[in-house]
């Protein structure tokens, strides 16, 4: 009986280990493993994803139900700052069972690196995602050197 | 905890449901919700940023309300991830509805990544105000 129990525990541990590895694979290593000094804790509103290409950096802010006119986006010395407010009306006469959604003012700062051009920033808001495209300076782009 | 809208327990993985996609398990995200009730019915509001109408599925199966949405990203081909709070493209959440709710008359709207679902109570079960006449 004890033998059985142990093998059950073993298989559970194996399963746990496998899941753990899968999660690691899925989430990928090296994605902001070192926390930036201006980074926000997990679960902060709005969630942010950042991707880069040799020519640009793109920032996606998951900010549903926000009036884009009330968003303030600025880039200064390679630091992108987005601030705004999402005020969720509270219905006084209703009974609330869950209130999980963020309500209030928010601000997020994202470091884009030194080679971005603050004059070449474009932002669009669609389906609750604010997409900000910041181009890198021409001189900073990697150049292909031709070999003769 | 709401007795008339009970969340269906899902295997926790990043706090959300797990979906089987092409033989591989993809961790779904748990969309944050507000749920409130008034005399007419129950309203559920869910944050599902990046989900368009075409990629949203609101379904009632028996007494279960299922919300599912897929995020659509426009990513350049040579993109490389620098930072990611969001590491899944699926939102999924489900709730069990109680019998006094009229599941055949649910209305859902989606605006700027916020889903609003309105579930009315059966007309005969809505609280009625009794008029008190003065003698």
**Do the beta carbons of residue A62 and residue A46 sit within 8 Å?**
yes
CB-based contact (8 Å) between A101 and chain B?
Answer: yes
Q: In this predicted complex, what is the ipTM?
A: 0.77
**Every domain of chain A and the residues it spans:** 1-31, 38-140
For B52-100, what is each residue's pLDDT tens digit? 999 999 999 989 999 999 998 777 778 888 888 888 889 999 999 998 9
**Do the beta carbons of residue B118 and residue B106 sit within 8 Å?**
yes
Do the Cβ atoms of B47 and A31 come within 8 Å? no
What pairing do the DSSP bridges indicate for beta strands A129-136 and A56-62?
antiparallel
User: Which residues 48-77 of A are in CB contact (within 8 Å) with B?
Assistant: 48-54, 56-58, 60, 62-66
The pLDDT value recorded for residue B26 is 53
Residue closest to B51 by CA, chosen among B70, B32, B28: B70
What contacts A62, CB < 8 A, 6 or more positions away?
A46, A47, A48, A49, A128, A129, B49, B50, B85, B86, B113
Q: Which CATH architecture has domain B5-73+85-125?
A: Sandwich (2.60)
**Every domain of chain B and the residues it spans:** 5-73+85-125
Question: What CATH number is given for A38-140 in this structure?
Answer: 2.60.40.790
What pairing do the DSSP bridges indicate for beta strands A47-52 and B18-21?
unpaired
- Give the best residue of A23, A51, A71 to mutate against chain B (max B CB count within 10 A): A51
For A94-122, what is each residue's pLDDT tens digit? 999 999 999 999 999 999 988 899 889 99
| 3-state secondary structure at position A22 | helix
């Amino acid at each position: 009986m004890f033998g059985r129990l142990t093998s059950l525990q073993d298989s559970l541990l194996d399963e746990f280990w496998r899941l753990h590895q899968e999660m690691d694979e899925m989430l990928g290593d090296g994605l902001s493993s070192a926390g930036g000094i201006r980074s926000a804790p997990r679960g902060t509103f709005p969630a942010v994803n950042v991707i880069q290409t040799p020519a640009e950096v793109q920032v996606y802010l998951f900010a549903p139900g926000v009036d884009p006119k009330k968003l303030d986006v600025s880039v200064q010395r390679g630091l992108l700052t987005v601030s705004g407010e999402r005020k969720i009306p509270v219905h006084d006469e209703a009974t609330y069972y869950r209130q999980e959604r963020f309500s209030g003012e928010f601000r997020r700062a994202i470091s884009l690196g030194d080679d971005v051009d603050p004059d070449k920033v474009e932002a669009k808001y669609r389906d609750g995602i604010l997409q900000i495209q910041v181009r890198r300076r021409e001189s900073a782009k990697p150049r292909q050197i031709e070999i003769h | 905890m709401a007795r008339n809208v009970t969340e269906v327990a899902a295997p926790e993985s990043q706090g959300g449901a797990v979906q089987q996609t092409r033989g591989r398990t993809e961790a779904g995200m748990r969309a944050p919700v507000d749920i409130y009730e008034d005399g007419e019915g129950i309203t559920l509001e869910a944050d599902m940023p990046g989900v368009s109408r075409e990629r949203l599925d609101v379904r009632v199966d028996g007494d279960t309300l299922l919300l599912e949405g897929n995020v659509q990203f426009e990513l350049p081909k040579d993109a490389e991830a620098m930072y990611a709070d969001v590491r899944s493209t699926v939102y999924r959440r489900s709730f069990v509805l109680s019998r006094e709710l009229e599941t055949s008359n649910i209305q859902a709207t989606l605006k700027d990544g916020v889903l609003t679902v309105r579930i009315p109570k059966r007309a005969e079960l809505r609280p009625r105000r009794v008029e008190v006449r003065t003698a």
